[in-house]
């Protein structure tokens, strides 16, 4: 009985959630709901309020106003049982530097009150899943950035959570390391886990998320499937023309966005723009992506402030 109710119920429901730190209004009335078994990406630049939202969901920060429900109940009412069902991958590295890779998982399992037998059975499986099997005895300090992240994800999986919250899971990693993590996160989604991740990489959001929530300045600007967001806000193609613009080039009737050293033109058919350009003009043509959506919605780039 409980199972059917849980399946129909959103895992996270957030209504008019607000957080103020003194003068700073970090989150200004955010509402969304996350269905079970989906991957939702919170996309926004640094300081958009993503981490604060996640910390409120984990009951690590008290909201100033608004309602929050996890598995259908306020986190305060769930208490310990809520923590047992959620795995958190925080943004900053807080692996235990005094312990080995394997011990990090074993000790973490005990924090969840797991029996020794369950821990002994899960640890090698998680190490293998995150491709750390050969590094079990290594010290955390000997690991590369990508391995540390993988260990942090393995650690979050120790209690077999229904919901996994990842705060910028691949920030600062090299491309190979990111691809490996993406593959594992997609595996988890396939297993039916619910994923909520924050990112300021649009490729990451696009690749992993069924649905994206774009936030900036503590507010939701829009949400939807990546494809729908692109269709809604930008035309299919982007032609980027470097400044200074070629002489005699007419922008009349084109959708444009000035990004400083270049101008972006949005068009369903790139030829609409390119045929107006002189033959020797330098330009870049590509398909529109979430970065363009973000730019259209906020007027600034995702990477600002980095």
Instruction: Please give the residue ranges that form the binding site for another protein (CB under 8 A).
Output: 58, 60-62, 80, 83-84, 88, 90, 92-99, 103, 107-108, 110-113, 155, 159
Kindly state the smallest distance separating residue 172's Cβ from another protein, in Å: 17
Kindly state the smallest distance separating residue 61's Cβ from another protein, in Å: 7
Cβ neighbours for 32, distance < 8 A, ≥ 6 positions apart:
12, 14, 40, 213, 220, 223
Kindly state the smallest distance separating residue 111's Cβ from another protein, in Å: 4
Which of residues 66 and 224 has its CB atom nearest to another protein in the complex?
A: 66
Kindly state the smallest distance separating residue 66's Cβ from another protein, in Å: 17
Torsion of CA 129, 134, 139, 144, to 10 degrees: -70
Which of residues 156 and 288 has its CB atom nearest to another protein in the complex?
A: 156
Interstrand relation of 219-224 and 86-89 (parallel, antiparallel or unpaired): unpaired
The three-point CA angle 191-197-198 to 5° equals 170
* 53 sits in which H/E element: helix 50-57
Kindly state the smallest distance separating residue 118's Cβ from another protein, in Å: 14
Q: What is the C-alpha radius of gyration for the chain, rounded to an integer number of angstroms?
A: 22
Instruction: Tell me the β-bridge partners of 266.
Output: 238, 255
Which of residues 80 and 275 has its CB atom nearest to another protein in the complex?
A: 80
Which of residues 59 and 239 has its CB atom nearest to another protein in the complex?
A: 59
Cβ neighbours for 191, distance < 8 A, ≥ 6 positions apart:
none
Kindly state the smallest distance separating residue 159's Cβ from another protein, in Å: 8
Residue identified by tokens 């723009």 is 273
Which of residues 159 and 293 has its CB atom nearest to another protein in the complex?
A: 159
Which of residues 110 and 243 has its CB atom nearest to another protein in the complex?
A: 110
Concatenated DSSP letters of 125-191:
HHHHHTT-GGGTTSBGGGS-HHHHHHHHHHHHTTT--SEEEEESTTTT--HHHHHHHHHHHHHHHHT
């Amino acid at each position: 009985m409980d199972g059917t109710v849980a399946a129909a119920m959103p895992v996270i429901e957030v209504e008019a959630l607000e957080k103020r730190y003194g003068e700073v209004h970090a989150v200004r009335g955010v509402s969304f709901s996350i269905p079970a078994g989906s991957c939702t990406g919170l996309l926004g630049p640094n300081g958009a309020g993503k981490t604060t939202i996640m910390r409120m969901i984990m009951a690590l920060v008290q909201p100033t106003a608004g309602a929050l429900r996890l598995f259908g109940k306020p986190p305060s009412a769930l208490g310990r049982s809520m923590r047992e069902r959620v795995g958190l991958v925080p943004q900053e590295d807080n692996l235990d530097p005094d312990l080995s890779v394997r011990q990090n998982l074993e000790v973490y399992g005990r924090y969840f009150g797991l029996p020794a037998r369950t821990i002994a059975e899960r640890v090698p499986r998680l190490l293998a899943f995150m491709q750390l099997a050969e590094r079990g005895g290594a010290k955390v300090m000997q690991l590369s950035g990508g391995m540390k992240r993988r260990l942090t994800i393995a650690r979050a999986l120790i209690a077999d959570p229904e919901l996994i919250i990842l705060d910028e899971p691949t920030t600062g990693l090299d491309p190979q390391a990111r691809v490996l993590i993406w593959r594992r996160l997609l595996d988890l989604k396939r297993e039916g886990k619910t994923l909520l991740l924050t990112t300021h990489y649009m490729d990451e959001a696009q690749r992993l998320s069924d649905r994206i929530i774009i936030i900036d300045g503590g507010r939701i600007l829009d949400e939807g499937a990546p494809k729908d967001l692109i269709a809604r806000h930008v035309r299919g193609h982007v032609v980027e023309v470097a400044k200074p613009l070629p002489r005699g080039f007419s922008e009349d009737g084109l959708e444009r966005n000035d990004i400083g050293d270049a101008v972006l033109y949005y068009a369903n058919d790139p030829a609409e723009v390119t045929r107006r350009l002189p033959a020797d003009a330098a330009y870049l043509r590509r398909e529109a992506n979430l970065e363009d959506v973000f730019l259209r919605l906020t007027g600034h780039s995702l990477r600002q402030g980095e």
